[in-house]
Structure formats: C-alpha cells, structure tokens
Amino acid sequence: VSSTAEQFDFFYLVQQWPGSFCDTRQGCCLPEAGKPAAEFGIHGLWPNYATCRGRGNGLARAVLGDSALLSVAGLGRRGKCWPEYCDDGNSLRPWEIRDLLKPLEQSWGTLSCKNRRSFQFWSYEWKKHGTCSNLDQHDYFAAALALKAQHNLTAILAGAGIAPSDDQTYFLSGIRDAIAEGTGFKANVECNRNADGEVQLFQVYQCVDKTGKKLIDCPLSMNSKCSDKVKLPVF
Ligand code: 5GP
Ligand code: 5GP
C-alpha cells in the first residue's frame, strides 16, 4: 500500500462473460487450472473518480451523467478519470493471498492466450488498480471475491429469462432492469462484437463504495458499445 492514501470516489467491480471474451476474432485460451464455469468471472476491482480531474491517463470510459460520449477532444479536456499504478514497487506476492488461491482460480480466471496462469492476471490488476485501492493485497482480493459472491449475475439474468444462447437476442433494457432488480443497484454494461460482428454483452460494471464493501448505484454511465438488442453467447 502506498504511504499516502489515494483519493477516489468509488470502485467498479468488473465482471466478464467468458462466452463473449472467447468468441471474438481474437479468441481466448483456457487457463492452466482448467475451463472456468459458464458464469461471469471477475476482471477487476477498479478505483474511480466520480468527476475527472486534471489531465493525464484514464480518459477512455467516462461519460458525463446520461449524456452521450464526449468527443475525443472533450475527453482530453476532462483529464484523468481514475488513478492507476499507484505503487510500482508493490508486486503481488502469492503468500499474501494463499488462502484465496482456490476461490480466485474459480472466480477470477484468465482467458488470455498470452499467459494462461491466472496469477499473472491478478498481478497485473493488483499493480494497475489494486495499488490505488487503499486496501492491502489480501483485503483487495478478498473484497472482490466477497462482492462477487453477494450476487450471482448469471443466475439473476437466467431468472429474468436471459440465458446464454447462440441464436437469441435480448433487449439491453431487460438486462439492465434484471441486474438492477436482482442486485438492488444500477450497474453499467459494456458490449463487444463476436467474430461475425454481432453485438453481445461483454462486461458488467457494478459500483461499490470506497471501502470496497457495499454496492451503490453507479454514479456515471459509460460508452457501452451496446445496441438495443444484444446476444449472450454460450460458453
Ligand atoms: P479498454 O480501453 O480496453 O476498455 O480498457 C483498458 C483498460 O483501461 C481496462 O482494462 C482498465 O484497466 C482501464 N479502464 C478502462 N475503463 C476504465 C474505467 O472506467 N475505470 C478504471 N478505473 N479503469 C478503466
Ligand atoms: P485491463 O484491460 O484490465 O487494463 O487489462 C487486462 C489485461 O489483462 C490485458 O492486458 C489482458 O491481456 C490481460 N488479461 C489476462 N487475462 C484476461 C482476461 O481473462 N480478461 C481480460 N479482459 N484481460 C485479461
């Protein structure tokens, strides 16, 4: 943990749908630990500002309120929207998270082909985002696991009739409503495209208070790259 407390406003708990990571033109590789369950998996727990400040990195995602995505020039003027890489000397040590390795393999597995060891993914997320969280290594990963365990997004969607399918498409509004009702809080969603160019649900961004414990309504909307109807491909 860095010596000075990092100021930020909330976290995004980002979960990815493995089917939508894998059916892209880029494809995916299964982790060494084995094929993950057909469930949303953790991508990261990311500290965020509610209002962008100064200039610098972290421009990509932020949008003001419900308004459309700012122009590229506008993004530049809005400055830095989240802190990152707050302590480069602070590398993730397996010993610190030894009691979490099993649940992490289950809930935070890598689908990258560059390195099929999930520890590599956790190390990257820790350096980029975790070092800005004001949590120590163990508490950071434990917080993400506990938040994910609070609500089963896969089950919430299935309960609303939104089940993985290779031919169905679903209303984005139905997905948003199901998550808001099932978790009690409004989340952001992000889409990507499969190898055929079809738009599909890729990631869900739930918002979390800065202690990392409680879900909150998301204060910002994002450029979601979604259309009105999207797919949720089988994994
Ligand atoms: P991409 O450009 O692929 O959407 O995002 C690249 C990376 O930038 C993400 O993996 C994440 O590390 C960071 N990033 C993108 N959007 C946000 C955001 O809204 N908040 C934070 N904290 N990081 C983000
Ligand atoms: P971010 O987009 O969080 O900055 O970057 C994620 C990084 O972690 C990328 O460099 C990506 O190659 C790597 N990575 C490893 N496994 C995964 C995975 O399962 N999903 C995603 N989105 N990125 C992964």
State which of 10, 61, 64 you would mutate to test the pocket of ligand 1, scoring each by most atoms of that ligand within 8 A of its C-beta: 61
Exposed, middle or buried by CB within 10 Å (0-12, 13-18, 19+), for 140?
buried
Which domains, and CATH codes, for the chain? 10-232 (3.90.730.10)
Report the separation in Å between the CA atom of 103 and the middle of ligand 1, taken as the mean of its atom positions. 24
How far from 200 is each of 104, 128, 151, CA to CA, in Å? 26, 27, 21
User: What is the arithmetic mean of pLDDT over 98-117?
Assistant: 96
The residue that leads in pLDDT, 81 or 66, is: 81
CB of 146 sitting under 6 A from ligand 1 = no
Q: Looking at residue 69, what is its pLDDT?
A: 44
> Catalytic positions, please?
43, 125, 129
Above 80 in pLDDT, residue 125?
Answer: yes
Above 70 in pLDDT, residue 175?
Answer: yes
Q: Looking at residue 63, what is its pLDDT?
A: 47
Average pLDDT of the chain, as a whole number: 90
CA-based nearest residue to 224, from 60, 95, 32: 60
Q: Looking at residue 64, what is its pLDDT?
A: 44
pLDDT tens digits for range 42-79: 999 999 999 888 665 555 444 443 333 443 333 445 67
CB of 60 sitting under 6 A from ligand 1 = yes
User: What is the arithmetic mean of pLDDT over 178-188?
Assistant: 98
CB of 131 sitting under 6 A from ligand 1 = no
User: What is the arithmetic mean of pLDDT over 17-38?
Assistant: 95
Q: Looking at residue 107, what is its pLDDT?
A: 97
3-state secondary structure of 50: coil
Among the bound ligands, the one closest to the CA of 112 = 2
CB of 193 sitting under 6 A from ligand 1 = no
Report the separation in Å between the CA atom of 129 and the middle of ligand 2, taken as the mean of its atom positions. 12
Which amino acid does the sequence have at 114? Answer: K
Q: Looking at residue 71, what is its pLDDT?
A: 36
Report the separation in Å between the CA atom of 122 and the middle of ligand 2, taken as the mean of its atom positions. 9
Above 90 in pLDDT, residue 178?
Answer: yes
Report the separation in Å between the CA atom of 112 and the middle of ligand 2, taken as the mean of its atom positions. 7
Rounded percentage of the chain residues whose pLDDT exceeds 70: 88
CA distance 2 to 47: 14
Q: Looking at residue 56, what is its pLDDT?
A: 52
Above 80 in pLDDT, residue 23?
Answer: yes
User: What is the arithmetic mean of pLDDT over 156-174?
Assistant: 98
Residue 43 CA: nearest ligand 1 atom is: 10
Among the bound ligands, the one closest to the CA of 124 = 2
Residue nearest atom 13 in ligand 1 by C-alpha distance: 58
pLDDT tens digits for range 110-120: 999 999 999 99
Which amino acid does the sequence have at 209? Answer: D
- What is the CB < 6 Å shell around ligand 2? 16, 21, 43-44, 110-112, 114, 121, 124, 128
Residue nearest atom 1 in ligand 1 by C-alpha distance: 60
Above 50 in pLDDT, residue 8?
Answer: yes
Above 70 in pLDDT, residue 3?
Answer: no
